[in-house]
Chains A and B, each alone.
Chain A
Amino acid sequence: MIIINDIKNAFLPELIIVIFILLNIILSFFINKNTYKKARIINIIGILSAIISMAFMQINPTYFSYNNSLLSNTYTIIFKIMILISNLLVILVSSSMLREKRKRTFEYFAIIQSATLASLLLISANDFLTAFVSMELLTMSCYFLTGFRKNHKSKEASLKYLITSASATILFLFGISYLYGIFGNINIEEINEILLTQPINILFITASLLIIVGAIFKLGCIPFSNWIIDVYEGSTYTTCTFISLIPKIAATAFISRLFVYIFQYSPILQIITAFVAFISIIYASIGAIKQTNIKRFYAYSSIIHSGFILLTISVSNVYALSSVLFYIFTYIFINIGVWSASIIYNKEYNTDNIDDYKGLYYKHPYYSIALIICLIALAGLPPTSGFIAKLYIFTAIIRTNTIFLLILLATLLASVISIFIYIKIIKILFDKQQNNINLNHKFHKEKVILYICALITILICIYPDMLIKLSQITAYYI
């Protein structure tokens, strides 16, 4: 009976995803015609049913299952819904990639779904071992996705990802072993209870730093961010869309829990993390200036946003967490919008070069306007959701601590540079020199998603209150 209860209350969406992974693998043997359409429908059904299944879970009070190694509450549910929604959007924009590789559609979706499964597990992990296993599964799926293209760059990126990620994993595991040595326990909640009475020592800080390294690697901040750039360049656009969202959301959920339960007892860790975030914002803003490849450019841009997320997480209180939630929710739509725009462009013109966007406005005005809205949102300027999200982060930091205020002001100055890198692309869109690519007004399904994302980006700026209240409620339940 306990097993059934556990499955019903904490493992239901994961179980559905597992079923659909198996289904994908089995169907790949039998279906050879029209694979893309069928696979897409099946996987959309899978994700929707996983979302619906969450209505049956017990979320209040927090439900612990499998010997306290998994938990489910409002916080995990909201993060899981965000993961599944972004996964749904990724599947909807992934047609271009699969057009070339029709035969391997089901395998592709099986890998994507297994990454989703790993993210879901990582969000509800209450145990360092569960977290480690799910993180490994997530990284493993991402290697396969990166190496999915059959060319040199893709293989190179995949190998780079494997090696760097393995070294980060080793550090993470080392940190866990230290923690086990200190506390005799690897359960997050129980370590929290011990920390309430026991003073911290230098060994604890060392162990925590090692664990933060592993987590920062997933999030992609300095000094563990160089893999992002090469991996983005080597993989297809769809994989980029996937890698820029799902691992990041899952890692954010996990790191926020770690900070609230364990790391907030040592202020040094918080300050180190905030400083790392600040440095990565500056580094990526400067690095993005000279980029000519659109993928590399977005890779740097994703480092900037990871920096903002990490900065807010390091504050580690309820306001900060709610602002992180709101930030991620806006970031999903902005990111999908930006990537779907480049997917469309790549599909029509088959180029990665930013300079080829010259004069694009004159050919595709509505497309360009939607892209500009998304870019303005990435830069964090009004009237888009990016502005509200950044403002909310700042107010959250203001409400907490004065030490962070200095870093906050420094970050604000640093984000000026990041505004200009996005303005540069807007300038290119309106450039007079047009390239000699023929007009092609084909209808793309990605365009619908781009327009919807741009619309949501503006709507969130006008009515942000409901979402902010939701994220505040969610943050209380961590």
Chain B
Amino acid sequence: MQNYILPILIFSPIIFSIILMSPILSSEEKVIRRSTKIFSIIHFIFTTFLLITFDYTNMGNHLESNLKIFNSDWVETIGLNASFSVDALSILLVGLTSIIFLITVFLSKKMIKHSYKLYYSLILIIETAVLGILCAKDMFLFFLFWELELIPMYIILLKWGSGNKIKIAEKFIIYTFLGSIFILLGILLLYILNFINTGTLNADFYNIDISNIDNKIKYIIFLFFLIGFGVKLPIIPLHSWLADVHSQAETPVSIILSSILLKVGAYGILRFNMQVLNDTFIIFAPLIIILGVVNIIYGSICAINQKDIKRIIAYSSISAMGIFLLGAASLTETGITGAIFQLISHAFISAGLFTIAGIIYIKCGTKNILKIKGLGEKMPVLMFLSIPIILSAMGVPLLSGFIAEFLCFIGAFTSQIESIIDVKISTLIALLSLIFSCIYILKIYHSTFFGELNKKYNQVKDINIHQKIILIVIIIFILYLGIFPTYTTNILSEYSIINFNIIGGF
């Protein structure tokens, strides 16, 4: 039974989505939504159980299981295994995925207005894909799940949302497909080189041997992966799909995009660029630090100039991913710990921000912050509950955002990477983002909740119990990660010492 825990965890959402799509269940909204909710709660409890029982002291691959069918592997003849495994990094992100999808299902109640069956089953397929990406041990299995998520996301963007849906969905699919082709090229090259080097066909990325290969080829593979994951992350020249998609998509979809799919791109960088190609990463680290700083500054400057709440949050997430890149590329224990912590923390922060934006959009019918004023009068509970989220996004101490950013910047300061532009100076430039984030985050809060109430919004009611629960759950996580971060950071720092190529630090 121990062997089948991971396959059950990964494949249960897609099996449930098939049940949802089948004619057995009626297509009434209540039935569909409630059954999905019950499933997500069970899935979350299961994941929590895994998180608690996971042995964090052993940093190798602890829960390992082979999905064996007829005593054979997936495609044994060409060395592909259907094997899954988790380590400390993936199990934390698996837990994150499960909770964010639970939040998404809860939030979808009033935001999704048609084709419930299709919507919930597509969401669950995406959940399977993400869990598969996080647990896959085989590179091609990783790619399979990576692609599995694209078409459902495309259909969701085509069908739900506002504005010019079709154009936006096409933009999304073109960007992400081109990115995934680069990933496939990188994987194929790794696979070929491993074959040339060892003479065996093997796609398990923990056992790949590319030691005798010319460095130039490794640089090419590194750049392929950087471009491929950079589209998802997004790294600056490849970012232009993000803001459009976020602003047009429905709020639950935005949450999935920013809290899960961006993190999956970051996971790809951590796995492929930093673990498999760890010698090459040292050479490219200065470039990635510069990219990170550009991300931080560009993202926050763009966010300041926007009027659409969702666009502001989308650009702020570009900035947050820049902080991740800065921390990860510093190659210090503190920096990498902070980078992974930033992934978890930003997932909750952006989920919270998008929830607030989505509620405001539903109540007022507009996303333009200049048109909304004085909602605090009508929605005191929302106003109160959004304080911790807003403050965390600004990076105020005792909340999760502070810990993550602080660790990343400390890591970058103590980094010993040599580059043309000194790392310390670039970190100082990146620190400007703390000021910028105050500007745009406070702009949202200030202009929506304060001021004189527009007469149009006299009928607006406060948030319902569903939304309260969602916000309270998010706040609990933000407070927990902010006040008691040591438990998580200890695991992550131990993990990063073992698994990454650390060259600097205290």
| Residues of A near any B CB (own CB < 8 A) | 361-362, 365, 369, 372, 376, 381-383, 387-388, 391-392, 394-395, 398-399, 405, 409, 412-413, 416, 419-420, 423, 426-427, 430-431, 461-466, 468-469, 472
Contacts and interface: CB of A to CB of B under 8 A. Distances in A.
Given A381-B147, A382-B147, A391-B140, A465 B185 contact: no
B144 A387 contact: yes
A421 to B, nearest CB: 12
B381 interface: no
Contacts of A388: 75
B195 A398 contact: yes
A159 to B, nearest CB: 41
A461 B184 CA distance: 17
Contacts of A427: 154, 158, 166, 169-170
A472 B143 contact: no
Nearest to A372: B151
A468 B77 contact: yes
B181 A416 contact: yes
A369 to B, nearest CB: 7
Contacts of B118: 361, 365
B175 interface: no
Given A391-B75, A395-B191, A430-B155, 8 more contacts: A381-B147, A382-B143, A388-B75, A426-B151, A427-B158, A427-B169, A465-B74, A465-B77
B53 to A, nearest CB: 29
B185 A409 contact: yes
Interface in B119-144: 140, 143-144
A214 B188 CA distance: 34
Given A416-B177, A419-B177, A423-B173, A465 B75 contact: yes
Contacts of B70: 463, 465-466
Interface of chain A, helix or strand or loop or mixed? helix
Instruction: Indicate the member of A382, A394, A466 with the most B CB atoms within 10 Å.
Output: A382
Contacts of A463: 69-70
Instruction: Indicate the member of A372, A387, A391 with the most B CB atoms within 10 Å.
Output: A391
A426 B185 CA distance: 25
Contacts of B21: 365, 369
26 contacts: A365-B118, A369-B21, A372-B151, A381-B151, A382-B143, A382-B145, A382-B148, A383-B144, A392-B78, A394-B188, A395-B78, A398-B195, A416-B178, A419-B177, A423-B177, A426-B151, A427-B166, A430-B155, A430-B159, A431-B166, A462-B69, A465-B70, A465-B73, A465-B75, A465-B76, A468-B75
A430 B158 contact: yes
A468 B328 CA distance: 42
B18 to A, nearest CB: 10
Given A412-B185, A427-B170, A391 B78 contact: yes
B174 A465 contact: no
A41 B472 CA distance: 67
A53 B189 CA distance: 46
B143 to A, nearest CB: 7
B124 to A, nearest CB: 14
B164 to A, nearest CB: 12
B152 to A, nearest CB: 10
A362 B145 CA distance: 27
B35 interface: no
Contacts of B148: 382-383
A119 to B, nearest CB: 28
Interface string B348-369: 0000000000000000000000
A387 B155 CA distance: 20
Contacts of A420: 174, 177
Contacts of B173: 423
Interface of B: 21, 69-70, 72-78, 115, 118, 140, 143-145, 147-148, 151, 154-155, 158-159, 166, 169-170, 173-174, 177-178, 181, 184-185, 188, 191-192, 195, 201
A382 B77 CA distance: 18
B159 to A, nearest CB: 6
Instruction: Indicate the member of B77, B173, B195 with the most A CB atoms within 10 Å.
Output: B77
A426 B148 CA distance: 15
Nearest to B173: A423
Nearest to B14: A383
B177 A464 contact: no
Contact of B74 (A376, A431, A464): A464
A242 B293 CA distance: 59
A391 B201 CA distance: 13
Contacts of A405: 192
User: When A and B form their complex, which 8 residue pairs have the shortest distance between CB atoms, in order from nearest?
Assistant: A382-B144, A395-B78, A382-B147, A465-B72, A430-B158, A468-B77, A398-B192, A381-B147
B250 to A, nearest CB: 15
Nearest to A430: B158
Contacts of B155: 426, 430
A462 B173 CA distance: 25
A412 B187 CA distance: 13
B21 to A, nearest CB: 7
Contacts of B75: 388, 391-392, 464-465, 468
A461 B145 CA distance: 12
Contacts of B72: 465-466
Contacts of A412: 181, 184-185, 188
A462 B73 CA distance: 10
A178 B446 CA distance: 87
A126 B111 CA distance: 67
Nearest to A416: B181
Instruction: Indicate the member of A409, A430, A463 with the most B CB atoms within 10 Å.
Output: A430
Nearest to A362: B115
Nearest to A469: B77
Contacts of A365: 21, 118
A140 to B, nearest CB: 40
Contacts of A394: 188
A420 B170 CA distance: 10
Contacts of A383: 144, 147-148
Nearest to A464: B75
Contacts of B170: 427
A376 B171 CA distance: 19
A395 B139 CA distance: 14
A221 B286 CA distance: 48
Contacts of A362: 115
A360 to B, nearest CB: 13
Contacts of A464: 74-75
Nearest to B158: A430
Instruction: Indicate the member of B115, B159, B185, B192 with the most A CB atoms within 10 Å.
Output: B192
Contact of A399 (B174, B178, B181, B195): B195
Contacts of B77: 465, 468-469, 472
A412 B182 CA distance: 10
Nearest to B72: A465
A398 B201 CA distance: 10
A219 to B, nearest CB: 25
A376 B151 contact: yes
A406 B154 CA distance: 32
Contacts of A468: 75, 77-78
A476 to B, nearest CB: 13
Nearest to B114: A362
Nearest to A322: B77
B377 to A, nearest CB: 38
A412 B186 CA distance: 12
A199 B72 CA distance: 45
Nearest to A415: B181
Contacts of A399: 195, 201
Contacts of A369: 21
A362 B114 CA distance: 11
A2 to B, nearest CB: 40
A419 B169 CA distance: 15
Nearest to B69: A463
Nearest to B115: A362
Nearest to B67: A462
A462 B67 CA distance: 11
Contacts of B69: 462-463
